Structure 1
């Protein structure tokens, strides 16, 4: 085989083999490990939301409890499923009971594995269906409204105030923007929790929160109807909360998500093993949700 670059294809094949060995080793490592942020994302996907009296997200409350109880390696899904089986409470109520110190997952014992996972099957199916329907709705709106010509025009908003971001995003869409990216507040990638609720203060950007996602998604849907084309919403999930933000984006129908472990490794000095594990889980979510 000859090409314009006159490459030695034996060396190309050798390089590919080395790459395959590296990738296989990394993938095997990822499959055998979890992280606190992966487990927090699972809590959110099971319906755990909100914050405690100190504004600590409930997903953090549960995973911190699992970590202190040396139960993290068993997985949040297993621990929550078992707690549902034993207590009959919802995941949200379980999180609240843990937060108030009234429930210690170590004291529950364990039911049969089939029954434990059976206790969360319905919750899992509900979330999966919600994300699937979001993808269907996106495709339907694109079919109904159409979209901008390629290459897409990508516009950034970053006031720090989600409500001011909405004003700018609508104006951008009216002027031809096809994708609106809401830049995150400086340093959010190093926060080991996701802020809760709508935010009106930020530094060089606006915090990525599930409520902010919902507010902007709603605004872009409205202006999309007005201008007659689907407007895509972009945000960022690189950093310590990568899987959680990916899960939130899937639930709120974001369309584009920057999801790169190398960002955290090179620019934020995040543990490369942790963020590679997080990236894999995040990309599974984004792939299923149709997020590009």
Structure 2
């Protein structure tokens, strides 16, 4: 599934979406939606009638039930992503193959009618450690391509009919402003000249660049991306190793040469990690830096920046200012 999102992002010219990680969220106990009022999901086009006990999350775009460890995650992609994802959702065997790469077993696929129009829902399970979770994933089309994921422990009292009823309540509105999308992110960040914000992505990250282009598929301009990890937990002592693994699986950085490894203060953590070095992309050799910091709940925020070797030194003051501005949302 992540590979499909990455290819879709490339086809749509949205470099940032290559950094969208698999969304592994824990969801659980819930009851009927019938008495609930519609709730707008901050920073997205989505509104829905939530299951009782669910409240807006400060960690991601969606809802969570802290006591039951339950969640409803909203991910929005460019409108151009819908045809490719729609083909994946429409073909059950294709969905089974692609989601299996994320350790998700898809059992069924069906059409549903929502307040936003026709949608397609996949149901299945995902094994996370010793636990197994039921999963519902719906694809919708509006101003954005919308994927909504609900997840619950298989032994919870969550009823599948209630989940489907909640998803049928989804309506899609106008795209929020850039300021609204930035405010809805699970972290805070400020741009510093010459960098500017291009857009947020998936409710989990933000893309910045310097130069005339907003869409830069060849990577000719400096690029800076900050993204938040939603699933799993990482101990501070493991951060550098996790960072190196992430870097090796990030498009354009698979063969990056790490020349320096530093322990730094980042995103409110004194145990942050900074990897720096060089990589070779479509537009030649570049310098890069990757910052990572862990929050109190073990989840991390990641900032990666790259630019031509000749340009990078002049950008370092701005890069530091942006890095210093990053903090987890309260």
TM-score range, shorter chain: under 0.3
TM-score under structure 2 length normalisation: 0.23
Considering only CA atoms, is the larger Rg found in Structure 1 or Structure 2? 1
Select the structure that is richer in strand: 2
